Amino acid sequence: MTNTETRDAEEKRQETVPMVKEATVKDDGRFLFYYSFPSTSNAAVKAEQEDKNV
């Protein structure tokens, strides 16, 4: 695999992973990252269940 092919594969992977990262800083200065997966996040699943219950 050439460098260009490797780079292409890398870009393709990044483009297609449905993941959202939210970076925050805690009160004591430590970093904290929330990773969520829009189609299947806990919050999304709960919202879907609530919709079904209505």
Partner 1 sequence: MSELRWHPFLEEWVITATHRQDRTFFPPADYNPLAPTKPGGFPTEIPAPDYDIVVFENKFPSLQRNAPEPAVEGTELTPVRPAVGVCEVVVYTPQADATLAELPLEKIEHLIWVWTDRFEELGSRPEVDYVFIFENKGREIGVTLSHPHGQIYAYPFVPPKLKTEVEAAKKHWDKTGRNLYLDVLEQELADGRRVVIENESFVATVPFFARYPYEVHITARGAGKAALTDFTRAEQHDLATILKAILSKYDNLFGISLPYMMVIHQRPTNGTTEDYPYYQFHIEFYPPNRTKDKLKYLAGSEAGAGAYINDTLAEEKAAELRALEPVS
Residue placing its CB nearer to partner 1 in the complex, 9 or 48: 9
Using the rule CB under 8 A, which residue among 4, 11, 12, 48 binds partner 1?
Answer: 12
Maximum pairwise Cα distance, the chain: 54
Segment holding 31, helix H or strand E: strand 31-36
Residue placing its CB nearer to partner 1 in the complex, 23 or 52: 23
**Closest listed residue to residue 20, CA positions, set 35, 41, 40, 42:** 35
Question: Footprint of partner 1 on this chain (CB under 8 A)?
Answer: 1, 3, 6, 9-10, 12-13, 16-17, 19, 21, 24, 26, 28, 30-37, 40-43, 46
